[in-house]
Amino acid sequence: MARKHSSRQARKASPPAPRSRRWPMHWPIMAVMAALLVALAVFWLNRSAPPRPMHPASPSEVQAAVGQSPDAPERLAVKIVSIRPHDPNAFTQGLFLHGGSLFESTGLYGESSLREVNPETGEVKRRVSVPQQYFAEGLALADGRLVQLTWQNQKALVYGLADFKTAGELPYQGEGWGLCSDGGRRLVMTDGSDRLTFRDPKTFAVLGEVRVTLAGQPMDRLNELECVDGTIYANVWQTDDILRIDPASGKVTAVVDASGLLTPAERQTTDVLNGIAWDPGKKTFLITGKLWPKMFEVTFVPRP
Ligand SMILES: [Ca+2]
């Protein structure tokens, strides 16, 4: 008690302590100043950080950013050779030419199909429906059979080339997007990422994989594929860009700007570009897309 009393007295009696009297008067000002400094720092940091894109950069955007550096891939455009009809109800997911016929896989639940199409007229010569639980994706010829990916069922559907009869299933892990046959030696598959997976054409076993980069940046959303003499072409989902890829390194060696094939009015009723088929006889590509009313026979030329 005595100590308490005496100390209270002492405090009361002692002269004002300059520090303790000034501090209570100024701390709100200092707190406000500190808050202002923090706010300024946050503002400055946000300003100096690169803007976050609303979506991953498209290959064309990355290429434009790279400019003419030694790492920059070739800039190509499409030159139209001819225009053919395409079933506007075909939600194209896979496309390739074999023996003068076009083989096409179409997607969507309840609407997926496997087709043989006349490449000149767009006439559907044969068509089988895919069971409604599957959303069909990429298509390729593998070991003499047609192999059709499914989006999320983790199995490929196998058909006889001559009769389109079901001939088994091949399991895999992850999503199925695009597929092409690399000279019959191996299959190349995409899954919506930046990865190309190489698979055994008979067993579908994984033989290896490579990540695709453009000037060091990963290129994801790789979709429909076309294997052409050891080079891989992939269109990029939700863009009009087609990439030419070196499968050994994963490096993009050219970006093909395939925009402008459809008219603005046609774009209103169609989905994205998704279909590349190489014609080895004519050295041209057939390009189409989901619900596109046309197929375009094109060559890839230097961009103007
Ligand atoms: Ca293809």
3-state secondary structure string across 5-60: HHHHHHHHHCCCCHHHHHHHHHHHHHHHHHHHHHHHHHHHHHHHCCCCCCCCCCHH
Q: How far apart are the first and last CA of the chain?
A: 95
C-alpha 99 – ligand 1 centre gap (Å): 15
Q: Does residue 38 register a pLDDT over 80?
A: no
279, 285, 288, 293 alpha-carbon torsion, rounded to 10°: -80
Averaged pLDDT score across all residues of the chain: 88
109-145 pLDDT tens trace: 999 999 999 999 999 999 999 999 999 999 999 999 9
CA of 93 to the centre of ligand 1 (A): 8
Nearest residue to 216 via CA among 255, 257, 247, 250: 250
Q: pLDDT for 173-200, tens place per residue?
A: 999 999 999 999 999 999 999 999 999 9
The CA 94 to ligand 1 mean position distance, Å, reads 5
How far is ligand 1, taken at its centre, from the CA of residue 232, in Å? 10
Q: What is the mean pLDDT of residues 277-294?
A: 97
Interval between CA 72 and ligand 1 midpoint (Å): 25
17 alpha carbon to ligand 1 midpoint, in Å? 85
Q: How far is the CA of 63 from the centre of ligand 1 (A)?
A: 24
For ligand 1, the distance from its centroid to the CA atom of residue 138, given in whole angstroms, is 8
Using the mean position of ligand 1's atoms as its centre, give its distance from the Cα of residue 277 in Å. Answer: 5
Residues 6+ apart with CB under 8 A from 95: 102, 103, 104, 105, 139, 224, 226, 275, 276, 277, 286, 288
**What is the helix (H) or strand (E) element at residue 126, kind and residue range?**
strand 124-129
Q: Quote the pTM value.
A: 0.81
Spatial distance between the Cα atoms of 89 and 56, rounded to a whole number of angstroms: 29
Q: Which two tokens stand for residue 136?
A: 């069909």
pLDDT digits (tens, 9 = 90+) for 70-87: 778 999 999 999 999 999
Biggest alpha carbon–alpha carbon distance for the chain:
110
Residue type at position 65: A
- What pLDDT, on a 0 to 100 scale, did the predictor assign at position 294? 97
Cα 226 to ligand 1 centre (Å):
4
- Six token digits for residue 245: 């890829």
pLDDT for residue 43: 57
Ligand 1 mean position to 264 CA, how many Å? 25
Tens of pLDDT, residue by residue over 237-251, are 999 999 999 999 999
140 CA to centre of ligand 1 in angstroms: 8
Is the pLDDT assigned to residue 230 strictly greater than 50?
A: yes
pLDDT band at 55 (very low <50, low <70, confident <90, very high): low
Q: Give the Å distance between the CA of 181 and the centre of ligand 1.
A: 9
pLDDT score at 239? 94
> What is the arithmetic mean of pLDDT over 36-58?
58
Residue 206 has pLDDT above 80, yes or no: yes
Ligand 1: distance of its center to the CA of 131 in Å?
Answer: 22
Q: In the prediction, which pLDDT does 220 show?
A: 96
Q: How far is residue 158 from each of residues 133, 153, 175, 201, 222, measured CA to CA in Å?
A: 16, 14, 17, 11, 23
Between CA 44 and CA 122 the distance in angstroms is 58
114 CA → ligand 1 middle, Å:
14
| Centroid of ligand 1 to alpha carbon of 91 (angstroms) | 14
State percent of the chain over pLDDT 90: 75
**Confidence at 27, pLDDT banded by 50, 70, 90:** low
What number of other Cβ atoms are within 10 A of residue 9's Cβ?
Answer: 10
Query: Which ranges of the chain would DSSP assign to H, the alpha helix?
Result: 2-13, 18-48, 59-66, 264-268
* Centroid of ligand 1 to alpha carbon of 4 (angstroms): 90
Rounded to the nearest 10°, the torsion over CA 76, 96, 168, 207 is: -40
Distance in angstroms (rounded) separating the CA atoms of residues 94 and 115: 10
The predicted pLDDT at position 17 comes to 42
